[in-house]
Structure 1
C-alpha cells in the first residue's frame, strides 16, 4: 500500500545523503515514516485519522489542531505496525494458506456493505484502491495477515476447564438471576374514564373469573386495553421485578400463585394473576461455560495482539524511521481552536 518506486526513494537511499538532507526530503515529500522499503505519507496518516473519527461518530471539522496531531501519532503507529506485520507475513507466507473460496467470501462481504457498485467504487477510491483486482489483492493480504497473526498467538488462546471455572467462581454474581414471575393481566386505563368505572368493571369480571363463570384468557381478549397482550390470553411472560414499573412490580411481587387479584397503578386498573414463580438462582457453570471461554479468549486475544505488535516493533527498530517533523506539521486550516 505504501510502496514507492520513484526517484524520491532512490534519492533518499543514496549513501552520501546526510541525516539533515534526508529529513528535509521527507518534509518536502510529506513522508512520515519509512518501514523497510515502504513509505507512509502524511496524506495516508490524515486519512486514517478521518476514518477513525468517522467510526466514532465525530466530525473532523470539530477536532482541535493539538488533538489532531495526537491522533496523527496514534494513526501513524498503527500504520507502522500494520506495515511491519505485512512485511513479516510476506516473508513467512509459507506459514499461511488462504483459499480462493475464503477470498471470494471476503470480497462478497465487502460488496454487501454498499447499495450498488457505484457506491462501492467511490469508497474504494477514497481508500486509494484503483480496481476490483486491487481490492481482491488487498483483502487477500489482510486475510493472510490475520491468519499469520492468529498462528502466532493461538497458543495463548487455549483455555482450560480449570481456568474457566475459576473465572466463573470469581464472577458468580454476574450469573445470579433474581426471582421471576410469569404474569398475565386484564387492563383498563383511567386516562379517559373515571377510575371508579374501570374499577367496577374489573371487580365484576374478577368475581366471574373466581367463580369459574368466565375464562381469564377470554376476558382479556374481550375487554383488556393492553393491545400487546389481550390476544395472548393477557400473558406478559416471565418478568423480573426490575423489568416492571415500580407500582406494578411492588403489587405483583407480593401475590400468591393462581390467585387473580385487582390492583391499581398510575395507568389504571388491572386484574393480575401470577401463574408461576421461579426462585432466585445462579446459572449453572456448564450452561455458561462456552460464553465464559469466549470472553476470556477475547480478552487474551487483544492482549496477545498488543504484545505481539510491541515485540515486533522492538525487533524491527533498525528497519523503520519516523520523521516527526512531518507528523507535527500544522493541520491545514487549523488555528489551534475548534474548527466549528
Structure 2
C-alpha cells in the first residue's frame, strides 16, 4: 500500500475511546467494527507472544502496546475491505481452513474447554469457522497483490545468498520427545514404580505401542491422545539430565537418582542419528515419566 493511499484511507477509520463494555467499538473501518472484546483478546495474544505481562508494563508502554495491537486490527480490516471491494469472495473452504481449525482445538486439554473458550469470546463454532474462512481469503488476496512487485530470484542469486548466510541457517541437532506422564498426586497410588516397570515391559516386549500405552495410562490429558507428543527439542532448550542420556542409551532405562531428587524415568532413543548440515535430526525419545511435583 502506498503512503498516499494510506493517507487517503485515514478518514475512513474511526477510533473510539478504549473503555466501556466489551461489545462497544474500539474502532470502525469501512463500517466494520472492532469491539473492545476483540481488542482485549488480541492484546492477550500479543503479550503472550512477546513474553510480557500487562502488570509489568509502565503506563506509557501499555498505551503504546494497545495502539500497536489496534493498528494491526485496523490493517486487517482494511485488507478485508479492499478484498471485498475487489469482488474476491468464495463459498468453498480453502485448503488451510481445516488445518487452522484443528490447530485451534488442539490448544485445549479437553473437548469441553473449547466451547467454553468460544463462549467467553462471544463466538460459536459456526462464527469461528466463518472467521477462519474470511481470514484465509484475506491472506490469499494480499499475497496476490504483493506477488507482482516481487522480483524473480534466479538460481545463481539464491546460491550466492545461501553461501553467504548458510551458517545462520544451520539447524542444530534435535530430538523428537514424547512422554507417558504418571502423577504421584493420586492418594490411592503413592508409589507407581511397579506400574512403570510393567509399562516398560509391555513396550519392550512390543505387546503395545507407545501411543497405545500413553492413551490408556497417561495422566497428561493434553498429550495422551497424541501419543504423548511433546514436539521437537534442541539440546540447548532442554535440561542436561533430560537430553544427554539419549546419546548413551538405546533402550528405556531406569534413572538411578533417589526419588526425592527425581522420579524414575524410562527412556529410549528410537532412531537417533546426527543430521547432515542444515537438516534436523531424525531422533526420537520415548519417555515413561513419574514426577513427585
Normalised to the residue count of structure 2, the TM-score between the two structures is 0.45
Going by fraction, where is helix more abundant, 1 or 2?
1
- Bigger Rg over Cα: 1
Identify the structure with bigger relative contact order (alpha carbons < 8 Å, sequence gap 6+): 1
Normalised to the residue count of structure 1, the TM-score between the two structures is 0.40
